[in-house]
Structure 1
Amino acid sequence: MAGAKGNSLRDRQIASLKKILNLNENLEQKEDEDSHANGLAPAGPILTANGEPIWKVLVFDDLGRDVISSVLRVNDLRSMGVTMHMHISGSRHAIPDVPAIYLVEPNAKNLEGITSDLQKGLYSPAYINFLSSIPRPLLEDFASQTAAAGTAEHIAQLFDQYLNFIVAEPDLFSLGMQKEHTYWALNSAKTKDEELDHVVDRIVSGLFSVAVTMGVIPIIRCPKGAAAEMIAGKLDRKLRDHILNSKDNLFSSNARPASSAGTPASRPVLVILDRNVDLNPMLSHSWTYQSLVHDVLNMKLNRITIETPIDEENPAKGVTKKAYDLNSTDFFWEKNSGVPFPQVAEDIDAELMRYKEDTQEITKKTGASSIEDLQNDTSASAQHLKAAITLLPELRERKAVLDMHMNILASILRGIKDRQLDNYFQMEENVMKHTKAQILEVIKDNDKGQDPLDKLRLFVIWFLSTEQEVSRADWTQFEEALVAAGVETTSLPYVRQVRATTKMTQLTTIGPSQSAAAQSGSTDLLGRFSSLSSRLTDRLKETGVGVPTNLASNFDNLIGGIKNFLPANRDLTITKIVESIMDPQAASTSAIAKTENYLYFDPRSANARGSMPPPSAMRAGGAGSAPGALPGVPGGQGPGTGASFGQRRQGFTEAVVFTVGGGSMDEYGNLQEWVQRTGEGGRPKKRVVYGSTELLNAREFIKEELERLGREVP
């Protein structure tokens, strides 16, 4: 949940990016000026002395592109005076005397690219912005390259920007580390120390940038052992060194004076957790809109591509592809992203109704028969026309958003029907209650959806959650059934080994009262849902929302068969851990018992930290034990200190939760739900930012991480 307007992580990142696009000039925003729809800074390029806008080109690398494209669109760049945007490795033509803004990672390849551009005279002057702090040796290399090439006069600015993280939602970020395969790297016995160091340093650099962007030094908590402790120790050292060694440090600005220098309670807590704390959310089937979009439509950088058959009767005709962006100006996404799917379908019905009423209101006043006629009809009274023309852009925009979401909903519905996701979701809600025989029956049932991977996901969640003993014979039986169902079972040997670790740390429970309420409400909703489907079909025809006609007619039978229930009010393990650290008074004793021994780092305190152990000692499981196991060093105190009783019980209003090895939309949604629930009834509102090394859906996590580890198990 974003804090006050302009204070969410996304708002802050957009403000930083707009400053970069304005050649690092400060943008003063007048109080009465409404901020740009996308963020803090007002749109519009800075002007020359003659009042002309300064037009410029933007050059980025892969990470720079991902950082920008998640929060700004091409028209936002245009409004900031950026006429062209290009990749640094692509071939580019000279555009003399045009300033170029570089937004790149500080590595040797990029620095050579910049020098080569300036040597060829492609652009001048260059405003160089590094996504993270450039190491001293690289800066010296760049200086000598610049001197040798004689390009110094073309460089106007060189800044470290601390923006090497990708923001997807107001308070959701990732470090974009898919290529590093962090979960595999940190749990594999084959990872070399140098590779491990690279992954840890990249994570520390990203978390440091998040702290800088938020303008505050957090207190760090993490469990002992494995990668989280190593990252926390290095981050603590980096923040501590920065405060001690920088005369004008990045946290001494007046961005958040109260928080950055204030008491621990007024500062946020950064909770760093290993992915093995709970693997289930990486594999579970969810029922919220944003999780379904991730699972069914594979959303990347807030963009989804939908394939629709040209002719449903004749699949041979092929499909059409359409890409959609879900950005911060999308009112429907902002309101419904974390909502269970049946409620989203109800809300789109309500929005279509509202749109229809608003258009009728205008056409009634002007005497035109439809919105389209208004543009051609000059006979209507001038005053009504003026009012209508003022409202037209907003109505058209609303219609475009509703068109898009109708297409997305239809595509998700198709996915739910084909894969029977409603059944899987319902089974996973009560996964602990299922017996071995029931799970085996589902795996063997050929009518349980078209994607065999869903069966593997259900089995792994059950296996990691169940209290029942699974013997070797049972295991063989399950494995054979999965293979017969067409499942790739390479990941299972690793899953079997990692179970011991996750069983120790899982904390999921379901509140019985909410669960009962959800069940009793479902029958009433079911009736509303089936009548809703026919209402929607009619509404589509009435409002002319731009969905294919075959979809309008099929919407009825698409929705008709979907089970309509609301999820039980369930806190995931990570939410319980966060609650026990942020609000220990309200947390369960089992959760507090787990977090009691978490290490405590305060980079602002005078206590020095112990020396870092070598990476191999910190690897999850160490070289000798099973992958994913916790290093069992009894009393082996690493860096950091055990928290005192007062520190353990102090409570926080703001937290950043970071999972090492992959993040899930399910966890983000669950945390935001907890924030909303605990902020009701006049209680002070909390805020939780969720981040991870990379955001993965279940398919990617199984294929890219678990299967790699499964192959390594002897």
Structure 2
Amino acid sequence: FWLSRAFAFSLQERLATLPHHVHTQIFGNSSSALHRPLLILVDREIDLAVMVRHTWLYQPLLHDLLGLRLNRVSVPVDTKEAAAALRPPRVKTYDLEARDQFWQEHCGSAFPDAALAVSDSLAAYNAKLQEINSQQGGVGSTDPDAFDASGSAQGILTAVSALPGLTEKKRSLDTHTSLATALVDHIKARGLDSFFETEQNFDTDRDPDAVSNAKKLIARTSPGTAVDKLRLLVALFLSRPSLPPQQIRQLEEFLRQETGGVSTAALDFLRMQQSFRTLQTATQSSQNGGSGPGGAGSLAGPGSVGSAAQAAAATLGTKFFDKGRGLLMGVRNLLPVKKTLPLAQVVSTLMENKEDSNFLYVDPRRDAASGRISAGAAPVALRAPFRQAIVFVVGGGSFVEAAALRELAQKTQRQTLATRVCMDLVFQILYGTTDFVSPSDFLEELTRLGGGTGLSGGVPDAGTAS
């Protein structure tokens, strides 16, 4: 029983009750798919691995490590002083708004790229301030509130007109410098670079290498929390279904020993689900009918932003790639491998209107014309590609998936501009879900579904990882 299919039929029944004129207003009269949006409903199990894997993208990292929710994130700002004074640290809250150009451009970027972009933005910010100061007779101050009013009238007018934009840019740089620094603290304390790199290689490593690398990170001598190590093992289980069950059992026992007994009930649930799907597939094959499942700091002083941003990226560089070639080359060596997530592949296929037997097709306009509710293959009349899609994941979503679909849409735009074909072929994709669930919360849900009482300890703050 697939929730996405149940939702599809429920929505279909509601649409069937609409008066004809309302139905026409919503769906129009054109039969071309280019002028109709495609609603894609999928179940979370289309890709479970993306929910637990460690990521290296800026927005997903904020969600995973700092609890980003509704575009708001809170960061402790004086942890060392608070620890010395035996008091809770002060917390500063940042709102990541649509007007924040840096956020719009880099929320889906690899984190090292985003950290370095802060430094580049600061260079442009300081250059602009120096230019304005020179025009109005300033002395080279990098504080936008310190303009010299004795300069020329034209210079003063230029400074006044530029001040709001510079102030907003300063606020944005302050925000992202603080966030980048907080992320680096977590990454260093928990060794998250190693987890990301190892999990990324699960797709290409030989089985013995994948198991060996996982075991090294699970060992108590390796950094990372118990939850980090459980996520690693779950990612291995989901990424390498060909591994002998006994090997996974041995790694489970090793994980419990090395972490003081962390619950592995999440793996029990995943095994049960795997058996259920195998049984269902066999039943469907024997019946020779039915379709498959519905998918599965502060900026107070001159240059403070630059030094903080560069320090944030430099700590990554010296930790990961101290190879004598400089920071930029080192950071780029950790860029995520370009690969297509299962959901992005499904969306691309369906928007191009290539029929997928694993999906049930529902057409409200066809039902309105026939007077009955039906489902089946995509009708021939709709075989033109779709331009707009609404993708909704039932059972929790991921910012990594959202970034992948954003990249898919941008890719079609780049291809369209390069080939100068019709702009109607550019994808416009809206991603939605019942909730954006953090990896640790998702693992908690799997643990309870597997009969466990939850994960003890959770994810500690940066600096307290064992």
With structure 1 as the length reference, what TM-score do the two structures score?
0.53
2:213 is the counterpart of 1:452 = no
Q: Return closer, same or farther for 1:381/1:426 CA change in 2, 3 Å cut-off.
A: same
Q: Return closer, same or farther for 1:439/1:707 CA change in 2, 3 Å cut-off.
A: same
Counterpart of 1:545 (choices 273, 291, 305) is 305
Q: Distance in 2 between matches of 1:688 and 1:362?
A: 41
Contact preservation (8 Å) 2:395, 2:435: yes
Structure with greater strand share of residues: 1
2:36 is the counterpart of 1:275 = no
2:338 is the counterpart of 1:598 = no
Query: Per the alignment, in what secondary structure is the counterpart of residue 707 of structure 1?
Result: helix
Larger RCO (CA under 8 A, 6+ residues apart): 2
Contact preservation (8 Å) 2:76, 2:92: yes
Q: Distance in 2 between matches of 1:404 and 1:501?
A: 47
Query: Per the alignment, in what secondary structure is the counterpart of residue 415 of structure 2?
Result: coil
Q: Return closer, same or farther for 1:701/1:444 CA change in 2, 3 Å cut-off.
A: closer
Q: Return closer, same or farther for 1:375/1:357 CA change in 2, 3 Å cut-off.
A: closer
Contact preservation (8 Å) 2:126, 2:142: no
Alpha-carbon offset, residue 311 of structure 1: 3.4
Q: Return closer, same or farther for 1:552/1:228 CA change in 2, 3 Å cut-off.
A: closer
Contact preservation (8 Å) 1:413, 1:559: no
Q: Distance in 2 between matches of 1:447 and 1:312?
A: 28
Alpha-carbon offset, residue 387 of structure 1: 1.6
Map 1:373-412; keep pairs closer than 5 Å.
Answer: 377-412=148-183
* Structure 2 residue aligned with 1:438: 212
Counterpart of 1:323 (choices 69, 93, 112) is 93
* Structure 2 residue aligned with 1:698: 439
Aligned residues: 411
Q: Return closer, same or farther for 1:360/1:314 CA change in 2, 3 Å cut-off.
A: same
Contact preservation (8 Å) 2:115, 2:313: no
* Structure 2 residue aligned with 1:485: 258
2:169 is the counterpart of 1:413 = no
Alpha-carbon offset, residue 292 of structure 1: 0.8
2:412 is the counterpart of 1:678 = yes
Alpha-carbon offset, residue 488 of structure 1: 2.9
* Structure 1 residue aligned with 2:15: 239
Alpha-carbon offset, residue 578 of structure 1: 1.0
Map 1:206-605; keep pairs closer than 5 Å.
Answer: 225-244=1-20, 249=22, 252=25, 260-265=28-33, 266-311=35-80, 315-316=84-85, 318=87, 319-369=89-139, 370=141, 372=143, 377-432=148-203, 433=205, 434-435=207-208, 437-439=211-213, 441-471=215-245, 473-486=246-259, 487-500=262-275, 542-545=302-305, 556-562=314-320, 564=331, 565-584=334-353, 595-605=356-366
Alpha-carbon offset, residue 312 of structure 1: 6.7
Query: Per the alignment, in what secondary structure is the counterpart of residue 76 of structure 2?
Result: strand
Q: Distance in 1 between matches of 2:56 and 2:17?
A: 45
Unaligned stretches of 5+ residues in structure 1:
1-224, 254-258, 509-538, 586-591, 611-639
Q: Distance in 1 between matches of 2:276 and 2:408?
A: 26
Q: Distance in 1 between matches of 2:255 and 2:192?
A: 18
* Structure 1 residue aligned with 2:456: none
Q: Which amino acid aligns with 2:272?
A: Q
Q: Distance in 1 between matches of 2:191 and 2:250?
A: 24
Contact preservation (8 Å) 1:277, 1:502: no
Q: Distance in 1 between matches of 2:218 and 2:5?
A: 42
Contact preservation (8 Å) 2:32, 2:382: no
Query: Per the alignment, in what secondary structure is the counterpart of residue 598 of structure 1?
Result: coil
Q: Distance in 2 between matches of 1:560 and 1:325?
A: 31
Counterpart of 1:607 (choices 370, 373, 396) is 370
2:429 is the counterpart of 1:688 = yes
Alpha-carbon offset, residue 374 of structure 1: 5.8
Query: Per the alignment, in what secondary structure is the counterpart of residue 134 of structure 2?
Result: helix
Over the matched positions of the two proteins, sequence identity in percent amounts to 30
Q: Return closer, same or farther for 1:654/1:374 CA change in 2, 3 Å cut-off.
A: closer
Contact preservation (8 Å) 2:351, 2:389: yes
Q: Deviations over 1:161-202 (max 9, x none)?
A: xxxxxxxxxxxxxxxxxxxxxxxxxxxxxxxxxxxxxxxxxx
Q: Return closer, same or farther for 1:502/1:571 CA change in 2, 3 Å cut-off.
A: farther
Query: Per the alignment, in what secondary structure is the counterpart of residue 90 of structure 2?
Result: strand
Q: Return closer, same or farther for 1:372/1:464 CA change in 2, 3 Å cut-off.
A: closer
Contact preservation (8 Å) 2:137, 2:155: no
Alpha-carbon offset, residue 228 of structure 1: 1.3
Alpha-carbon offset, residue 406 of structure 1: 0.4
Q: Which amino acid aligns with 1:498?
A: Q
Q: Which amino acid aligns with 1:480?
A: E
